[in-house]
């Protein structure tokens, strides 16, 4: 018994099957490219909006820091106490007890002024003021290990 492989029914089945498979593949590939480009655009827009938000928040924080630094720079009390602080550091080897006590109270008053500048809203968490020899007078939440 001989089986006929090339009947009209088999030819039609294979040709329609090939047509359906090719059209499904074309649809799947085009759908893949469309969705991937759509997802890339959405991810890009999302990254863009996150970057813009971060830039805005960073600008706001820098403006807060700038405001506090301007308050410090133009405060006559801070200038007065800082000049006293500089005068106490002229000769640190020959410091007397009275000078140490005066230096301590000057630093305490400077810290009180800094805490008043920081205020209850705490726009910044810490204010440090350094002299030319590297000594620091500061107030606020310390973020150092020591």
Name the domain boundary from 34, 67, 100: 67
Tell me the β-bridge partners of 128. Answer: 138
Name the domain boundary from 33, 48, 67: 67
Average pLDDT over residues 11-33: 96
Name the domain boundary from 32, 49, 67: 67
Percent of the chain with pLDDT over 70: 89
pLDDT digits (tens, 9 = 90+) for 85-94: 777 766 656 6
Please determine, for residue 2, whether its predicted confidence score (pLDDT) is greater than 60: no
Same structural domain, 62 and 115: no
Same structural domain, 40 and 85: no
CB 81 within 8 Å of CB 113: yes
Q: In the structure, what pLDDT confidence band is assigned to residue 139 with cuts at 50, 70 and 90?
A: confident
CB 89 within 8 Å of CB 133: yes
Number of domains observed in the structure of the chain: 2
146 versus 119: the higher-pLDDT residue is: 119
Q: Is 103 a domain residue?
A: yes
Burial class (CB in 10 A: 0-12, 13-18, 19+), 84: middle
Range of the domain at 123: 75-141
pLDDT digits (tens, 9 = 90+) for 27-76: 999 999 999 999 999 999 999 999 999 999 999 999 988 988 888 888 88
Could you give the CA distance from residue 114 to residue 68 in angstroms, rounded to a whole number? 10
Same structural domain, 50 and 85: no
Q: What integer pLDDT is reported at residue 107 of this predicted model?
A: 83
Burial class (CB in 10 A: 0-12, 13-18, 19+), 139: buried
Q: In the structure, what pLDDT confidence band is assigned to residue 110 with cuts at 50, 70 and 90?
A: confident
């Amino acid at each position: 018994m001989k089986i006929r492989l090339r009947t009209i029914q088999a030819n039609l089945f294979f040709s329609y099957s090939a047509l359906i498979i090719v059209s499904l593949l074309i649809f799947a590939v085009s759908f893949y490219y469309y969705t991937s480009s759509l997802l890339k655009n959405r991810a890009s827009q999302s990254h863009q909006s996150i970057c813009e938000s971060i830039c805005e928040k960073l600008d706001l924080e820098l403006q807060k820091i700038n405001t506090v630094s301007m308050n410090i720079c133009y405060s006559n009390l801070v200038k007065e106490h800082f000049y006293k602080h500089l005068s106490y550091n002229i000769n640190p080897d020959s410091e007397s007890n009275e000078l140490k006590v005066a230096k301590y109270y000057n630093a305490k008053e400077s810290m009180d002024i800094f805490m008043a500048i920081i205020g209850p809203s705490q726009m910044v968490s810490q204010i440090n003021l350094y002299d030319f020899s590297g000594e620091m007078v500061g107030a606020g939440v310390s973020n150092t290990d020591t």
